[in-house]
Amino acid sequence: MRIGEIKNIVGAVLAENNTLEVRHESIYGGQAYQINNFAELIEALGILSEQSWNDVDYTQVREIRARHEPTRNPTILTNEEFNQLNSYVNNINSKVPLYYSILESLTEDQDEKTINIRLPEKMTSLSDLNRTNDRLHDTLKYFNVDGQFEFKGFDRGTEWYVLIAVGVLSHRFFITCLKIAQEYFKTRTEYFKSEEAKRAYEASLRDKEQSSEKDFDKYKEKWLSLFIREEVGKAIEQIGTAGQTKPELHIKLVKATEKLVAELGEGTEFHLSLNPPTYAKEVGGELRIDYKKLRELKPKEETKQLEDGEKKSSKK
């Protein structure tokens, strides 16, 4: 995780004196506590527990996290759980202000239209790097709706590129298409492994047709391709066309999304600015891609259909 991300996560649960704050209310006549910033606090404590300066036993907080949904606000804890959580926070709070001041000194504010790109881990040669750069260049050019993406250098560590979108609409479409690509993978890896998906496929067959794994794969690819086209169409209706015709922009952004899907399958990560604009959530929704899960997929299997389709198109 980048230093800037850690700074933002920890900073979200700090009081004015830069110490951790458990925002709580006593409920049920003092029998329990409602933690209003539980999700943010648990995320920050997980990061802080891994720091070399932190020698406080994290076991009890880990157990609290396991018993409760770590992304839910507010969360109700028993008196015992609250005391354990509060004790852990108090024990590390003497060191948190210094740690946070170091984070601040190591990070700079990012332009809100920044896109941080983490290069694939599997690269082992300059040839791999050149191929990745060519793919990124090809992918990003399709998002040039009202301004291209400009290279601004490197984030902390050479595995990260920093680019800034010149155009607001280019940035908005990038966020939206990244969200679509995220949903593509989620649908592919979760929905199509469900019984519901198999029933929907079998219901689409004609009476004399028989179900087969090969035909189910074809049905799945057709469904996912249609999903991309429909979601891109919705995005254009919501964001606008920037002076282009709807059919022209639709073709361009479908191709852009397909390339994003393929790039995610290759192991490339796309992260928004550490200081994202207000429309980022309005347009893209809650954009939290589980890149660890994506890295566990077999890229060539997950993106083969899109790659094959692209090769066929280039031969025409």
| Claim to verify: residue 75 and residue 176 sit in the same structural domain | no
Per-residue model confidence as pLDDT tens digits over 257-287: 999 999 988 889 898 887 777 777 655 445 5
Q: What is the pLDDT of residue 135?
A: 94
Per-residue model confidence as pLDDT tens digits over 71-89: 789 999 999 999 999 999 9
Residue ending a domain, among 73, 106, 139, is 106
Q: What is the mean pLDDT of residues 137-150?
A: 92
Quote the pTM value: 0.69
Please tell me the distance from the alpha carbon of residue 85 to that of residue 165, in angstroms, as a whole number. Answer: 42
| Claim to verify: residue 17 and residue 165 sit in the same structural domain | no
Task: Count up the domains in the chain and report the number.
Answer: 2
| Claim to verify: residue 233 and residue 304 sit in the same structural domain | yes
| Claim to verify: residue 69 and residue 153 sit in the same structural domain | no
Those residues whose C-beta lies under 8 Å from the C-beta of residue 281, and which sit 6 or more positions away, are 287
Domain that holds residue 288: 114-315
Please tell me the distance from the alpha carbon of residue 163 to that of residue 145, in angstroms, as a whole number. Answer: 16
| Claim to verify: residue 139 and residue 253 sit in the same structural domain | yes
| Claim to verify: residue 245 and residue 290 sit in the same structural domain | yes
Residue ending a domain, among 106, 126, 160, is 106
Residue ending a domain, among 57, 72, 106, is 106
